[in-house]
Amino acid sequence: MPTEVVTMDKIVSLCKRRGFVFQSSEIYGGLGNSYDYGHYGVLLKNNVRNQWWRAMLQERDDVVALDSAIIQHPRTWEASGHLERFNDPLVDCRACELRFRADQLEQAQCGRKPSKHPGETADCDLTPAREFNLMFETTIGPVKDQGATVYLRPETAQGIFLNFKNYLQFSRKKPPFGIAQIGKSFRNEITPGNFVFRTREFEQMEMEFFVPPAEGERWYERWKQTRRDWYVELGIRPDHLRLRPHEPDELSHYARAAADVEYLFPIGWQELEGIANRGDFDLTRHAEYSGQKLEYVDTASGERYVPHVVEPAAGVDRAMLAFIVDAYDEDEIEGETRTVLRLHPQLAPIKAAVLPLVRRDGQPELARELQLQLRDRFQIEYDESGAIGRRYRRQDEIGTPWAVTVDHQSLDDRTVTVRDRDSLAQERIAIDQLGDELEQRLRRPWRSPKLAS
Ligand code: ATP
């Protein structure tokens, strides 16, 4: 295997330099662990979301979409168990005044002696652990004291359960079927960190798959595999992915079985996505707390049951980080080090850059014409400033798979060169065929060039 050149510092610096991710509120000194997504970050995240929707909706006919409210009825969180149990154990250190998760002290650094863990030095003065609820509270109504306390959702899943009845009525679906949603979630994490890996505001892609009770285990096995394969199809190296089943003492209160898709980040193996067999916990609890019947009734046979639920729950930001980390590479071209994001072309923020070789002789005009022709079908970038080599490097750094160069020959025979980001091969292609050619290249199965052949 080629040596890994990627570090979290390099990723953070590339993301800032090339406008993927910025520290939020930077002009005010930044707000800890809050990030803003810049132009290329927005495009890349859109592509991640689109690929998820594609796999969930377009390529199947048993999943439907939802976009539910972030602030829901507060009883939701009583029924789901979040008010009572969505806690992390927190300790304060009176000496360095930092806060830590009591169950992760061995991963934290002492505020005074970073080579030690909290509690390891004689000066450390840790309080006993106390439970800390991770939900953000706010108030509905203009007068704070008299308003109702509500919560920013800590997961998108509950919005799906609240709508289960609506979906049975309007969608004419019967189990097995799923409801999928993408949206922001909020958790007041005690120790956020590692860039966008763990933040207090993040985006989730969750799908609740409702099945007849006897089929829960089978669907759980299927969804584990399907979700792992999604990352591989989008170019993540299989040797950097694994499925890790939860130990019985790790299981959440609602789960019968759970496993994580984990990725080997520069900070070690970490969760990318969780897949859980939630049994009938959620529908039963919401039925109990709302007084509504949340069950499936087969009108033909009269059979009625509370479906079991299998849930794949992924994070948009974490997936994006994994795609960038896995794509990051450095090589040498003509004695110069090149940084390149070897992203799956479907994920690349820009599919092709259109570059006139020189800024005269009609080349910019022809390149503009080409840009107009292509942008109907793809996210294109036009760039005429600077030496061609530098323009190639800029595109390599943001992962653009193809650079299309208009040169003097183009004006004679209406062909252009297409440079491949990974192989660096240059091919001459007729302008009239370029759109179809790029379309075909985008559809081809793709494998990371970082994998040993
Ligand atoms: P962790 O153990 O990392 O805190 P979790 O098991 O609590 O995660 P889930 O509740 O299963 O996470 O959420 C599903 C997915 O949402 C996670 O796999 C992750 O991709 C994403 N996610 C959860 N918390 C955060 C966060 N604070 N920041 C960014 N993404 C998150």
Tens digit of pLDDT for each residue in 287-341? 999 999 999 999 889 999 999 999 999 999 999 999 999 999 999 988 899 999 9
Q: Phi first, then psi: what are they for 5, rounded to 5°?
A: -105, -10
Query: 241, 249 in Cβ contact below 8 A?
Result: no
- Closest atom of ligand 1 to 273 CA is 18
- Closest atom of ligand 1 to 260 CA is 18
pLDDT at 196 over 60: yes
**What pLDDT shows up at residue 108?**
87
How far apart are alpha carbons 365 and 361 in whole angstroms?
A: 9
CATH superfamily for domain 8-74+146-324: Bira Bifunctional Protein; Domain 2 (3.30.930.10)
**What pLDDT shows up at residue 334?**
85
348 HSE (CA, 13 A, CB side):
29
Share of the chain above pLDDT 90, in %: 87
Lining ligand 1 with CB less than 6 A are 155, 187, 189, 198-199, 202, 204, 271-274, 313-315, 317-318
How far apart are alpha carbons 108 and 367 in whole angstroms?
A: 53
Binning pLDDT at 50, 70 and 90, where does residue 452 land?
confident
How far apart are alpha carbons 406 and 355 in whole angstroms?
A: 6
**Section 206-235 average pLDDT:** 98
Point out the least confidently predicted range of 60-69, 101-110, 420-429: 101-110
**What pLDDT shows up at residue 416?**
98
The two domains 8-74+146-324 and 350-443 share their CATH topology (first three levels equal): no
Cis amide bond preceding 128, omega within 30: no
Specify the DSSP class assigned to residue 141: S
pLDDT at 199 over 50: yes
pLDDT, one tens digit per residue, over 349-377 is 999 999 999 999 999 999 999 999 999 99
Element (H, E) at 241: strand 241-245
**What pLDDT shows up at residue 143?**
72
Query: 175, 63 in Cβ contact below 8 A?
Result: no
pLDDT, one tens digit per residue, over 223-241 is 999 999 999 999 999 999 9
Binning pLDDT at 50, 70 and 90, where does residue 3 land?
low
Query: 43, 51 in Cβ contact below 8 A?
Result: no
Nearest alpha carbon to residue 237 among 447, 5, 1: 447
**What pLDDT shows up at residue 32?**
84
- Closest atom of ligand 1 to 271 CA is 18
How far apart are alpha carbons 77 and 83 in whole angstroms?
A: 6
pLDDT, one tens digit per residue, over 43-85 is 999 999 999 999 999 999 999 999 999 999 999 999 999 999 9
How far apart are alpha carbons 181 and 52 in whole angstroms?
A: 10
If you search the block for the tokens 């800390």, which residue do you land on? 132
Nearest alpha carbon to residue 228 among 186, 259, 252: 259
pLDDT at 453 over 60: no
Point out the least confidently predicted range of 73-77, 252-256, 398-402: 252-256
**What pLDDT shows up at residue 1?**
45
pLDDT at 142 over 80: no
Q: How many residues does the chain have?
A: 453
Residues in a beta bridge with 126: 93
DSSP output for 372-423: HHHHTTS-EEE--SS-HHHHHHHHHHHT-SEEEEE-HHHHHH-EEEEEETTT
**Section 440-446 average pLDDT:** 95
Architecture of the 350-443 domain:
3-Layer(aba) Sandwich (3.40)
- Closest atom of ligand 1 to 187 CA is 27
Best residue for ligand 1 mutational test, from 250, 271, 273, 278 (most atoms within 8 Å of Cβ): 271
* Ligand 1 atom 6, closest CA: 274
Best residue for ligand 1 mutational test, from 198, 269, 317 (most atoms within 8 Å of Cβ): 198
**Section 73-100 average pLDDT:** 94
Between the CA of 364 and the centroid of ligand 1 the distance, in Å, is 47
Token pair for residue 138? Answer: 């706010």
How far apart are alpha carbons 434 and 329 in whole angstroms?
A: 28
Residue 389 one-letter amino acid: G
Binning pLDDT at 50, 70 and 90, where does residue 5 land?
confident
Query: 156, 314 in Cβ contact below 8 A?
Result: no
Binning pLDDT at 50, 70 and 90, where does residue 172 land?
confident
pLDDT at 268 over 80: yes
Q: Which tops the pLDDT comparison, 51 or 103?
A: 51
Token pair for residue 318? Answer: 């974490």
Q: Phi first, then psi: what are they for 131, rounded to 5°?
A: -75, 135
**CA 138 to each of CA 58, 152, 253, 402, 415: distance values in angstroms, whole numbers, following the listed order:** 37, 7, 25, 48, 60
Pairing state between β 352-356 and 402-406: parallel
DSSP output for 264-308: EETTEEEEEEEEEEEETHHHHHHHHHH-----EE-TTT--EEPPE
Share of the chain above pLDDT 70, in %: 99
Binning pLDDT at 50, 70 and 90, where does residue 104 land?
confident
Domain ranges within the chain, ordered by starting residue = 8-74+146-324, 350-443
